[in-house]
Amino acid sequence: MICVAFQTAPAQETPLSRPVFSIGQPSRWQLYLDAMVQNGGASGADALAVAGTEQSLFNPVVGLLAGDAEVYGNAGSGRAEAGARGIVRSPALALGVGLDWNFTRGRGDLLLTYRSAILRGGLLGRGTMLRVDWMPTREQTVAIGLHIPIAQPLAGKTRPRHIDAFLPAAKPQRGTAPLSADIELIVRLVDAAAQVLHAARRELRQTLCGADE
């Protein structure tokens, strides 16, 4: 009966028996959207929307170099404009340089860009970043906004914002002497040992002198 009971008992599920699912490899092309405010020139402030994709040119863990391809559109106080960009970026340095080709104006301009998460896990979480663009040859145009990863479910989740740890408060132990009392006891023991050593050396000297006589 005992054997039957053991055979019919349901197996308990343990954490080790549960299936493990792989998160897989990230996509080579990282999609993103940027919502920005652009200010420069006589047109005043404009709303700027950027859609792009990025691919690492070397090991993405090192973040040495990456290439970006973007399309954008802006509208506001001036006329609506559209264009495309090609950027070479160093994710490790958070800096990039590229060419902005404006379809509406029919001209290209130098683009300098900065993009960084600022905080662990992202500026607003989920891998979001601060982005600042500057085009010195297009009336000193400056744009600032938020970089939002798209179709990247693990963005920002591997770097928790809080990395500090709180240790539990030590409970006082009964019957323990204060630290000052321990130090005083050690000093007394060292003094006693020195006195014993001095007495032993004196006795040894007297013994050797008596043996010579």
pLDDT at 17: 62
Query: Distance between terminal CA atoms of the chain?
Result: 95
Higher per-residue pLDDT: 16 or 150: 150
Confidence label for 161 from pLDDT (cuts 50, 70 and 90)? confident
Q: Is the distance from CB of 124 to CB of 103 less than 8 angstroms? A: no
pTM, rounded to two decimals: 0.66
Decide if pLDDT at 50 tops 70.
yes
Tell me the average pLDDT across 181-192: 83
Q: Over the stretch 107-119, which tens digit does the pLDDT of each residue have?
A: 999 999 999 999 9
Determine the distance from the C-alpha atom of residue 96 to the mean position of all C-alpha atoms in its chain, rounded to a whole number: 20
pLDDT at 154: 83
Q: Over the stretch 54-66, which tens digit does the pLDDT of each residue have?
A: 999 998 888 999 9
Among 21-25, 57-61, 88-92, 200-204, the range scoring the smallest mean pLDDT is 21-25
pLDDT at 202: 81
Q: How many degrees, rounded to 5, is the angle at CA 34 between CA 56 and CA 141?
A: 100
The CB-side HSE value for 79 (13 A sphere, CA atoms) comes to 6
Here the tokens at position 198 are 């001095």
Structural domains of the chain, with CATH: 30-150 (2.40.128)
Phi, psi of 81 (to 5 degrees): -135, 160
Mean pLDDT of the chain: 83
Decide if pLDDT at 178 tops 70.
no
